[in-house]
Structure 1
Amino acid sequence: MTSGNAPDLQRTQGRTRGDRGLFYQISVRLLIVTAAFVLINTSIVIAMYANDRPTLASDMITIEAERIADHLRRGEGTPPDRDDTSVVRAKAMVVYDRNSQQRYLYNPGNLPLGEAGFSLDLHEETSREEQGGQFYVSGMRRHVVNGEPVWIGIAVSGRGTRPFLPAMLRELRQHVLLPTIPLSLLLLAFNIVVVKRMLAPLHKAAREVNDLHPSLVGRRLQVPESPREVRALIGAVNRAIERLEHAIGSLKNFTADAAHELRTPLAVMMLSIDRLSASEIRDKLRHDVAGMTRLVNQMLDIAHADALVIPEDARADLDEVARELVSDMFPLAVGNGHSIDFHSHGPELVKGVPDMIERALRNLIQNALAYAPRYSAIDVVVGPGPRVTVHDSGVGIPESVRESVQTRFWTHQRDRSSPGAGLGLAIVRSIMEAHGGCLEIADAAGGGASVSLVLPPLKTTSAP
């Protein structure tokens, strides 16, 4: 059981990966490249900044002085110390006013601090010493607190680089992340927009290819002005369509020519059979030749249906088409032991080719004659709306095979005893699709099959 399900699981996973479009894949790769760029740039800056000890020392003094100045501005009393004794051996803080008088002093480790009598023009000063893995950093910063200038002196003694971590994070935030991330995101968005615009011709070509149909195989994809690779791809597709058009045309011509050439010999053969004496063999020959004649006629119908293009001014009255066809086929139905009843809800105008609609309806009636019980009635109903329905009282068509019976060379009984070659409903479906309509199959009310030709209504423009 497991081994049998594994290939299905692999195919499902493959389809899931394949459903991701080229735009999605390129966008994800651009996002990964952008993230890698930001990470590499951050790592380089951190490495360079970690080795720049003078700058780290100056930034550390600046950060501590700003913290104390903010505390004083809030009027919260003595600034708290936030030493990490595992990395900072001692710290000292002193605050002077504009008269060089101490307003605050914190120096439990008796570290050297700036003395009174410093220049009032001083704004920033930093000194640094390092020996045996230990460092001593001191400095003074000028700030304004409640409208009055103050000078804040800081001294720190410790070891390692951890005391400088706040300074490193500040540098990373202000000089790496803030400028790099918005710029990277802007560049990423720009690249995604460019990629989307560059892929637009491919999406347009995909829509044009999806709209192709055997009846429109002469249509070509529009070649964009750029990019060159897309032009080359669409040009190759157009050349492939041209070769396909030639192959389809040759096949259609062969089918039509072969069917046309066979009609005359079959008609002569039927006349010759009719001159034979009545016998079981003659009846069998007549039946076989009739089946061959019908197959040849269906081959002609296929050739016409595949090449069918509905003109814009094509008009058909379903009531008129069905009424004339029922009248023509009435003798055939009677000869086969059936009767045809015609019902109409009135004229129904549709956009379509009357001759092709007549061929589609003829195939439905012939199927009903072939499968309906002898001496039963076949009903042909026009309307309500743009539809023609053929009811019979045969075995019906099971719902499970209603889609299959509309494919070529599929027979209901799936054996040689089934009449016909399985082309009738396939021809009808092709004709309906060319008209923009559809073929509907349902169960008849009294048993049997109910098959309908459904066409789009004729659009009429009202006078202004």
Structure 2
Amino acid sequence: MRCARSTWLSSLRFKVLLAYIAGVALSILLIVLTALALVTSQSDILLVMNMTERTQELAEKLQFDPAGRPVGFDRSEADRIWTYESMQQDIGYRVLDASANVVLASTEANFWPASTALHPSDHEPFKFERQGILMYGATAPVEHDGKPWFLQLAVSERLMDLFHGAFALPFMGAGIVLFSLVLLFVFAACAYITLGYTLKPLREVSESAAAISPRSLHSRLQVSSVPSEVVPLVDSFNRVLQRLENGYRIQQEFLATAAHELKTPLALIRAQIELMEDFHDRNALLNDVAHMTRQVQQLLLLTEASEAQNYLFAEVELTDVAREASDYLQRMAEAAEVRLVLAQAPISTDPWQADRSALFTLLKNLLENAIQHAPRGTEVRVDIGADHLSVRDWGPGVDREQLPHLFVRFWRGAHRRDHGAGLGLTICQEIAQAHGWTLSARRAEPGLLLQLSRREH
């Protein structure tokens, strides 16, 4: 659990997403602080803006009688008229003509000081004191039937404070909360989708890198869709793969060259031994040469089996190849007094996609290994299914703790009767892996069963 949590915390997606969220949170904090500062300071700019907008809005609703004189406001202001009637100490309006004469007012004349008499060209916001209370005022021009009129609106500072405290702050707070939630979820969703799309090429490159094996060292990671910041890392990994491939090729070439070079002197030694007159020494030396020749041949086969480019894949009938390998080893089986039994395959068996020569070598090695360990008078049985082939003998088998070593190079059991190099089953395993098959071994009680499967069970 600790490891999983550590991996999650070190995730690039998590860190970038956290940065997005932190940025959004900081933005929201700055918005809240700015709004609180504006409301707390109650700056003249904010108040004047509110007064100017309200005055203009009220001027647009002014109504006139048939004679063209202002008489009041339309019905949309009906629910606000009471404020001018019941709060005459704190709010009032008046309408003036072009000569600054009052033609309509909500308050007594003494509400407005004479110093605020409107001149037709003066539309700027104004302030004045009334009974020690600061009043904010604004003017909005109105034109009706070509005649200019001017609406003035004045509100006390204490009433504006009450309005902002009772109405503006709650609405502003609700607006900030709603805006913050929308911003958070929208940013988080966008960040998550963007990161998922951005990091997808990295996941694909990671999967490609994990799939590279000694059989696919020629593969290279694609950088076409990888973010530019990660391209140098992928290029470095590709260069490492190039060096590994070169080293692996040199090793394989050395192994093949050494095996080929050993074949010629072994042939010469064998020819010289055959000319010797002492039959006892000659037979012993010939057995040693045969053993060495077999080792060299298996090394060559192992080198070929380890190279993916050596395979030529085509559809192959498994039953035909198994019968061919059985016929090839018939003499060996007769010499060991062992019966080779090829069970009848199902009629619906589909062809296998394989290199025929490599498949023949694999089956030949499996049968040869079984014949060498089968007691006289017993049989070696080959069973072919739709997706598998098994070879079983009735010999001493292998201890359970030794089963994992069967496919290890140069491993030989203590009970072996042959003089092999311990590479036969290793070659089989290499061929199976090159084809994407599974080669497994288990005790058959008695004997050993080796099974080749097209897919894992």
Shorter-normalised TM range: 0.5 to 0.7
Partners of 1:310 and 1:435 within 8 A in 2: no
**Matching residue's letter, 2:331:** P
Distance 1:117 1:218 in 2: 87
Alignment of 1:14-413 (within 5 A): 14=3, 17-18=6-7, 22-34=11-23, 36-38=25-27, 40-41=29-30, 44-45=33-34, 48-49=37-38, 51-52=40-41, 98=82, 168=169, 170-174=171-175, 176-224=176-224, 227-270=227-270, 277=278, 288-309=288-309, 314-335=314-335, 337-346=336-345, 349-370=351-372, 372=373, 374-375=375-376, 377-398=378-399, 402-412=403-413
Question: SS in structure 2 opposite 1:406?
Answer: coil
**Aligned residue pairs, count:** 375
Partners of 2:202 and 2:226 within 8 A in 1: no
Gap change, CA 1:173 and 1:351, over 3 Å in 2: same
Distance 1:116 1:168 in 2: 21
Gap change, CA 1:45 and 1:265, over 3 Å in 2: same
Gap change, CA 1:168 and 1:339, over 3 Å in 2: same
Q: TM-score, normalised by structure 1?
A: 0.63
Distance 2:339 2:298 in 1: 22
Partners of 1:316 and 1:352 within 8 A in 2: yes
In structure 1, the partner of 2:109 is none
Which runs of 5 or more structure 2 residues have no equivalent in the other structure?
Answer: 48-78, 95-104, 107-126, 128-132, 137-155
Partners of 2:294 and 2:421 within 8 A in 1: no
Question: SS in structure 2 opposite 1:51?
Answer: helix
Give the percent of matched residue pairs that are identical in Structure 1 and Structure 2.
23
Q: CA RMSD in A?
A: 5.0
Question: 1:433-453 CA distances to partner (integer Å, 9 max, x unpaired)?
Answer: 222222132332x51111022
Displacement, 1:37? 1.8
In structure 1, the partner of 2:453 is 454
Pick the structure with greater CA Rg: 2
Gap change, CA 1:215 and 1:178, over 3 Å in 2: same
Partners of 1:387 and 1:455 within 8 A in 2: yes
In structure 2, the partner of 1:72 is none
**Matching residue's letter, 2:380:** D
Displacement, 1:167? 6.4
Partners of 2:28 and 2:180 within 8 A in 1: no
Gap change, CA 1:171 and 1:394, over 3 Å in 2: same
Displacement, 1:190? 2.9
Question: SS in structure 2 opposite 1:229?
Answer: coil
Question: 1:200-249 CA distances to partner (integer Å, 9 max, x unpaired)?
Answer: 33223223333434333333333316643333333323322222222221
Distance 2:228 2:91 in 1: 76
Gap change, CA 1:304 and 1:297, over 3 Å in 2: same
Distance 1:19 1:271 in 2: 69
Gap change, CA 1:302 and 1:392, over 3 Å in 2: same
Question: SS in structure 2 opposite 1:351?
Answer: strand
Gap change, CA 1:291 and 1:248, over 3 Å in 2: same
In structure 2, the partner of 1:432 is 432
Distance 1:400 1:300 in 2: 30
Distance 1:100 1:31 in 2: 50
Displacement, 1:307? 1.1
Question: 1:46-81 CA distances to partner (integer Å, 9 max, x unpaired)?
Answer: 6525732579xx9xxxxxxxxxxxxxxxxxxxxxxx
Partners of 1:318 and 1:387 within 8 A in 2: no
Partners of 2:305 and 2:427 within 8 A in 1: yes
In structure 2, the partner of 1:80 is none
Which runs of 5 or more structure 1 residues have no equivalent in the other structure?
Answer: 1-11, 59-94, 103-112, 128-135, 140-152, 157-162, 457-464
